[in-house]
Amino acid sequence: MFTRAIVRTPGENFCDGITTSRLGRPDRRKTLEQHTAYCDALRDCGVEVSVLTADERFPDGCFVEDTAVVTEDCAVIARLGAPERRGEEEAIADALAAFRPLRRIEEPATLDGGDVMRVSDQFYVGLSKRTNAEGALQLTSALSEHGHVVSTIPVNGVLHLKTGVTFVGDNTLVATGEFAGRDEFNAFCRIDVDETAAANCLNVNGTILVPAGFPKTASALRRLRRPVIELDISEFRKMDGGLTCLSLLF
């Protein structure tokens, strides 16, 4: 069960962050409304939400997931793969220090939390443009001390591993594109979706948050007989972000 979340309010310059999408510029008012609705949904799932203020040095700072990997034993502070995002992790490390002993990913390693998918004691780490093999190795060293197992998965066509595949509980993965039908995931029940932006779902204490606008994925998830909340995150998608990216849950 998650009891806490850390999120960060999108800054005035959110639209100056990194993006490959061609969906246009985020609207400031809608961005803030969607962020507030996201925080409310986390609270509805029983999570106490700490909202950090924006830091205008970091337009991508609201995508806090990338800055750390938090387990019940420790918080591993990331060294972000995009050089212009480095530094975002410091405010997060300060916030997490109250709750967990900190470990750090050190140069030359890079690691973004969006590349780390946890399934119980198993961690899948995507080797992507943002996360390198040394990053996976250093994460393995930090987590294996606590009995966790880490394996790597190549990521080619999307930003992060969890852009294309997420674990929603009940031994079930939601997967799209290069991750649908992948051998490494044969042991799971699978919801393979062709709505590519819909695979980034978030399981919060048994409730599944799914991005709004993807009816096939939402109805496949409802068949799991678990509560499903659809959240509009159109403005975050414009900056390549999804549901998991917006919080650190622990």
What residues are labeled active site? Answer: 160, 245
Distance in angstroms (rounded) separating the CA atoms of residues 167 and 208: 10
Chain centroid offset of residue 141 CA: 21
- In this structure, are residues 161 and 185 in contact, taking their beta carbons and an 8 Å threshold? no
239 is a site residue for ligand CIR (CB under 6 A): yes
Compute the residue count for the chain.
250
Binding mask 186-205 for ligand CIR (x = CB under 6 A): --------------------
Sheet holding 165-167, edge to edge: 165-167, 172-175, 189-192
The Cα 112–Cα 129 span in angstroms is 10
Smallest gap, in angstroms, from Cβ of residue 147 to ligand CIR?
25
Bridge partner list, 240: none
- Say whether residue 18 binds ligand CIR (CB under 6 A): yes
Strands 149-154 and 122-127: parallel
Longest dimension (CA), the chain: 44
d(CA 74, CA 23) in angstroms, rounded, equals 37
Told to check if 131 binds ligand CIR by CB under 6 A, we report no
Residue 250's identity, in one-letter code, is F
Determine the Cα–Cα distance for residues 183 and 116; give it in Å rounded to an integer. Answer: 18
Decide if residue 242 touches ligand CIR (CB under 6 A).
yes
Among 37, 49, 52, 82, binds ligand CIR (CB under 6 A): 82
* Contact in structure between 125 and 152 (CB atoms under 8 Å): yes
> How many Cβ atoms are within 10 Å of 122's Cβ, its own excluded?
13
**Rule CB under 6 A: is residue 235 a binding residue for ligand CIR?**
no
| Distance of closest approach, residue 95 Cβ to ligand CIR, in angstroms | 18
Residue nearest to ligand CIR (CB): 114
Q: How many residues contact ligand CIR, by CB under 6 A?
A: 18
**Binding string to ligand CIR for residues 94 to 113, with x set by CB under 6 A, is what?**
--------------------
Min dist CB 159 to ligand CIR, Å, is 6
Q: Quick one: which of 245, 248, 249, 250 contacts ligand CIR (CB under 6 A)? A: 245
Listed ranges 39-47, 95-103, 207-215, 238-246: which one lies at the site for ligand CIR (CB under 6 A): 238-246
Q: Tell me the closest approach of the beta carbon of residue 21 to ligand CIR, in angstroms.
A: 9
d(CA 124, CA 153): 7
Tell me if 65 contacts ligand CIR by CB under 6 A. yes
Residues 142-171 contacting ligand CIR, CB under 6 A: 159-160, 163
Residues that bind ligand CIR (CB under 6 A): 17-19, 60, 63, 65-66, 82, 85, 114, 159-160, 163, 239-242, 245
